Chain A
Amino acid sequence: MIAFQNVSKQYSAHATALRDVSLDIAKGELVYLAGPSGAGKSTLLKMIAAIERPTAGSVLVNGQDIGKLRREGVPFLRRNLGLIFQQQKLLNDRHILANTMMPLLVTGASKSEAEQRARAALDKVGLLDRAKALPLELSGGEQQRVSIARAIVNRPQIILADEPTANLDRASADKVLDALRAFHRAGVTCLISTHDEQVLDGAARVIHLNQGELVKEAA
């Protein structure tokens, strides 16, 4: 489903984010990307979403070569992805139901359909009763669960979560991870980056990155 073939990413002569990384991720896998800050975890996830392009090698997502993907094709790639960020990137001027509806509205779904599916997504992350709350009225963990609801509302094939538990207390982090694992069990391919060792407990597959290199892969 996702393949990195000798991928390097260089931002400048002195800033290399990834060095010759090769890996394959099968459909339905739950993979953790581990490593310290600056290891290249975020860059790797950004490449899958075509936010960054490789400077060498190729990144294939569902057979599509990200390096050769035309600008017009990027939105359609992203509609099959659910993106979750450390900073939730919620829009603070609209309630969380509206935030969750956004990925459907951009595809041209009707408002009633978008609302129905957004409510279902919020229900899955346990926040349906807060549907009309503004993001700033929620805790950090709740905001992150809203961003998960927004990521899954489009029924994506792949979820990319970049440090989703950073800045969260343990209880909130566990709720966020539980939600992500639930989607994995439902058949969604999940990539979760983290520098929190506790998150990796019991993980089926962990890819360790350091200074842009794949240093270890544990299964």
Chain B
Amino acid sequence: MNRWLRQHRFAFGAALSNLRKAPGSFLFNVVVVAIALALPFTGLTLLDNVRPVSEQLSVDPEISLFLTAATPREQAQALAPQLRGILNSTRAKIVFVPREQALASLKEKSGLTDVLGALGENPLPDGYVMKLDGFKNAADAGRIDALADQLRALPGVDTVQVDSAWVKRLAALLNVLHLVLLLLAVTLGMVVIAVVFNTIRLQVLTQRDEIAVSKLIGATDVFIHRPFYYTGALLGLAAGAVALGAVALALRPLNVAIADFARLYASEFQLAPLPPLGVAALLAISAGLGLVGAVLSVQRHLARLN
């Protein structure tokens, strides 16, 4: 175990020593990789801030079901058990609204008593108002479409209105943003791997003599590869830290602008930096990307030297 730890310490020291030999080149590569990482990190920070807001939105969607004018009252009332059956899983509150009650409500709310009286007869159909429960967030709202389709298929139903369309749009938008962010992260992750790959390639070429001598004096492949792996991981880690720092700095001016906007909606919404666990995860991912780039490069270029 001691020997194993000593070899890792040696490799780490060798990696640091190589970086110290060309600090300018290392810093340049850190900046390049940090720029590539900063974009997905920014996106992730924004989504991380928006997600709880969307989760707090009251969705509790309401479905209005209107029957055809020709549907008899008995048949309309007889639909209630079927509605309960369809909405069973949503703990819905179902209220039958007779056409007379609907007209009275309309007269009261619209102030169009004279106009409606002039019509002679009640133009409104019988209907139901169903308040759904059990929808925790915007993403859940997609389930309502399936329920609405089932309701539309019932006999005597003319129209079904779902009033949570905006919530669905928000959910869809968040999904798209997630997808875009994922694609961006994958693309820029590949950029990071490519930059590290090239950096390590140059290091392998620079240290060709040392590698050759090491092989002749009994160094194993693992011993030779390990410092390059550390270099790649260190490069990724440093770039990840720089990118996270840049994002944290960028939040300040952004929050000034957001505060003005949020005040218009009586909100105190502010963008917060990622929590420590998120920061640790991103640093680990950055180091991991660096390591992958280094492994690919070492496997390819040292194989050529062999």
Contacts and interface: CB of A to CB of B under 8 A. Distances in A.
Given A105-B10, A108-B3, A108-B7, A89 B213 contact: yes
A75 B6 contact: no
B55 interface: no
11 contacts: A72-B220, A75-B220, A75-B221, A76-B218, A78-B216, A83-B217, A91-B210, A102-B213, A106-B220, A106-B223, A107-B218
B216 A106 contact: no
Contacts of B6: 108, 110
Given A72-B220, A79-B217, A89-B209, 6 more contacts: A76-B218, A78-B216, A81-B218, A83-B217, A91-B213, A154-B218
A110 B219 CA distance: 15
Contacts of B219: 75, 106
A206 to B, nearest CB: 26
Contacts, number: 51
Instruction: Name the interface size band of chain B.
Output: 10 to 19
Interface string A93-125: 000000000110111101100000000000000
Contacts of A75: 215, 218-221, 223
Contact of A106 (B4, B209, B218): B218
A102 B3 contact: no
A154 B220 CA distance: 15
Nearest to A103: B217
A49 interface: yes
Contact of A78 (B3, B212, B218, B223): B218
A150 interface: yes
Interface in B248-288: none
A106 B217 contact: yes
Interface in A37-93: 49, 51, 72, 75-79, 81, 83, 89-91
Which residue, B6, B215, B217, has most C-beta atoms of chain A within 10 A? B217
A102 B3 CA distance: 15
B214 interface: yes
A83 B210 CA distance: 15
A90 B218 CA distance: 15
Contacts of B218: 75-79, 81, 103, 106-107, 154
B217 to A, nearest CB: 4
Contact of B217 (A72, A78, A108, A110): A78
Interface string B178-216: 000000000000000000000000000000011011111
Interface residues of A, number: 23
A112 to B, nearest CB: 11
B214 A106 contact: yes
Interface of B: 3-4, 6-7, 10, 209-210, 212-221, 223
A140 B276 CA distance: 58
A150 B217 contact: yes
A72 B220 CA distance: 7
Nearest to A150: B217
A159 to B, nearest CB: 13
Contacts of B210: 91
Contact of B214 (A49, A76, A102): A102
Interface in A109-162: 110-111, 150, 154
Contacts of A108: 3-4, 6-7
B220 A102 contact: no
Nearest to B6: A108
The 10 A-B pairs at the shortest CB distance, nearest first, are namely A79-B218, A108-B3, A106-B219, A78-B218, A103-B217, A75-B220, A75-B218, A108-B7, A89-B213, A83-B216
Nearest to A78: B218
Interface string A147-189: 0001000100000000000000000000000000000000000
Contacts of A154: 217-218
B12 to A, nearest CB: 13
Contacts of A90: 213
A129 B221 CA distance: 34
A149 to B, nearest CB: 12
A114 to B, nearest CB: 10
A76 B213 CA distance: 15
Nearest to B224: A106
Contacts of A150: 217
A90 B216 CA distance: 12
Contact of B216 (A72, A89, A107, A110): A89
Contacts of A78: 215-218
